[in-house]
A and B are shown apart, each in its own frame.
Chain A
Amino acid sequence: MTHHKETFANCVIEVKDGTHLSINGKVIDYEYDKESNKWSSRYLPYTQYDSILEMAQAIAQHTVEFSSIKD
């Protein structure tokens, strides 16, 4: 996945060079655990994900910074 761009949960997720992640243009810092081959982010502190894209989709869906659910 050298360059990937998609819209998920009304958010634009972009992964450049397989490593540089942004959601709606905002750069997302994350950690990659080489030992477990898992990704995690400070946005979702209780979970790890099997791919950078799966993690990005979870951030878009579940964090109040990006979620579009209103009353």
Chain B
Amino acid sequence: MAIRKDANTLNPNERAEFVDAILALKAAGIYDRFVLRHANAIMNAIHRSPAFLPWHRRFIYDLELELQRVSGNPDLGIPYWNWPSGEADAAMWRNDFLGGNGDASGVVRTGPFQAGQWTVVNASGLPSGPLMRTFGQNGFPTLPTQTEIDQVMAITPYDSPPWNMSSSPSFRNQLEGWAGPNLHNRGHVWVGGSMLPMTSPNDPVFFMHHCMVDKIWHDWQARFPNQDYLPVVGGPFGQNLTDPMDSTPSGQIGSRPIDVLDSAALGITYDDGTTIPQPTIPLLVVDANPEQFSIGAPGETDIFQFQVAAFGSHTAFTTGSSDTFMTLFGPNNPAAQVAFDDDGGENLNAQITRNLSAGTYYLRIRLFSSNSTGNYAVGIRSNNNIPTPIPELTVDGASINAAISTANESDLYRLNITDDAIYTFQTYGTTDTFMTLHGPNSQIPVIASNDDGGVTLNARIRQQLTAGEYFLRIRHFSPIGTGFYSIHATRE
């Protein structure tokens, strides 16, 4: 059971035990193998992507097992660098622990890892000089504050397409540092020197830094138990839930993200075991006046909930001068996405109109640009409880001519299936359509989807169906595409 403590709270014996174990691994050549494992990984496979957090969790876990082995202490945990109290004058930088900042040339000349006692290696494993540190000299003079950590701790979901450094909203991307207040990247850059390149594990503070990163992920997982790792499927290879991660050897545990999601199962305990309660989700009242809110920090996301009492057409909308982006989830499931919109409302405001069945819905609002801040008002209105009519598509009946007339538009059709049989649904025309089949008796579950199964770029679904009410949704393959099409349903 590894007990991971704030590095600045270790007593002298604990500091000596950690340093001695690191030096023993270095002398045995084991420590440098960790440097090479990180240095020779594909950069974008372990950074700037969803696997960033599970990859480094597994990485520091493996070092921790080695530290426990050479120290003979099965409870030895890697201390975490608590950034808000870890500036240059903190206890962790003293001579009996990590040593301090580098000299005028950046060379570390204090502590157990000073020049002459500790040599860094390059990506080929060759000795390449002393450990270097240049605290606060590379563009980031300060470390992340607790307020900034709290800000990132409120971000959901775990990650989002395109699964890289542009992802937003994304807890992973904000914790890594490509959006929001910049936590992880800033720590590397603040230390500077040997912590800047892919060989950054040359500095033992790397592991304490990533222990802090891992603690924040651990705390976030405890705070949002329903927010799972993403992507499950559909992301780049090596990033999905059950893909093997790059540069991760077979070991005591597996090499996939799914193998490291549960810290407790790995025997990891943090000294600060308090779970921060989930933030209260503000309730929007249907047909009340829009309420004012603001995106006060770049990358921030606001979440609201509202109740739909009975089936009917509802519109979620924002007003104001900000360029808002809106995603609707539900019913009764904050992870089940219904729709999203960028500029469907007035000016640059987002707006979604849908027939909604009774239940609780969740509205996520952010600004289109993850670098912007701004005010907005948000409201929900019921459209006189008159459902927007859904055109009925008759099996073996006439085709319906329609069009995707604006970006992000999708058309919905209702089908009344009375017999168990195989049915074919197909679009015709020159528009690149995409079709999804939902049901039975609900617009939410997706039975099948298709892009180009029909003639040229038309969509086609052939499906065995039981009796019930089904729905077909047609959109353009491109989010910005428009064009005419016709749709036809047949039974075999």
B120 at the interface (CB under 8 A from A): yes
Q: Is the interface of A mostly helix, strand, loop or mixed?
A: loop
| A3 on the B face (CB < 8 A) | no
A 59-71 binary contact with B (CB < 8 Å = 1; else 0): 0001111010111
Q: A45-B47, A69-B107 are in contact. Are A64 and B129 (CB under 8 A)?
A: yes
CB-based contact B194/A64 at 8 Å: yes
Q: How far is the CB of B458 from chain A (nearest CB, A)?
A: 33
Docked-complex contact B106 and A45, CB < 8 angstroms = no
Residues of chain A at interface, number, CB under 8 A: 17
- Does B348 sit within 8 A of A, measured CB to CB? no
Contact between B196 and A46 (Cβ–Cβ < 8 Å)? Answer: yes
* Residues in A neighbouring B106, C-beta threshold 8 A: 69
Q: Which of B121, B165, B184, B192 has the most chain A CB atoms closer than 10 A to its own CB?
A: B165
| Bound Cα distance A67, B119 (Å) | 14
Q: Are B129 and A46 in contact (CB under 8 A)?
A: no
Contact A46 B185, beta carbon cutoff 8 Å:
yes
Whether, in the assembled complex, B202 has its beta carbon less than 8 Å from a beta carbon of chain A, the answer is: yes
Q: How far is the CA of A44 from the CA of B116 in the complex (A)?
A: 25
Shortest beta-carbon contacts, A-B, top 4: A64-B128, A42-B43, A46-B188, A46-B185
B residues less than 8 Å from A33 (CB atoms): 165
Binding site for B on A (CB under 8 A): 33, 35, 42-47, 58, 62-65, 67, 69-71
- B130 close to chain A: CB less than 8 A: yes
B283 to chain A, nearest CB (A): 36
Complex Cα distance, B188 from A58, in Å, reads: 14
Q: Residues of B contacting A47 with CB < 8 Å?
A: 138, 185, 189, 196
Query: Is B197 interfacial (CB 8 A cutoff)?
Result: yes
Pick the contact of B122 from A35, A42, A44, A64 — CB < 8 Å?
A: A64
Contacts of A64 in B (CB 8 A): 120-123, 128-129, 194, 197, 199, 202
Min CB–CB distance A65 → chain B (angstroms)? 5
Q: Let me know if A71 and B43 touch, CB within 8 A.
A: no
User: Is B198 in the interface zone, CB < 8 Å from A?
Assistant: yes
For residue B132, CB closer than 8 A to chain A, the reply is yes
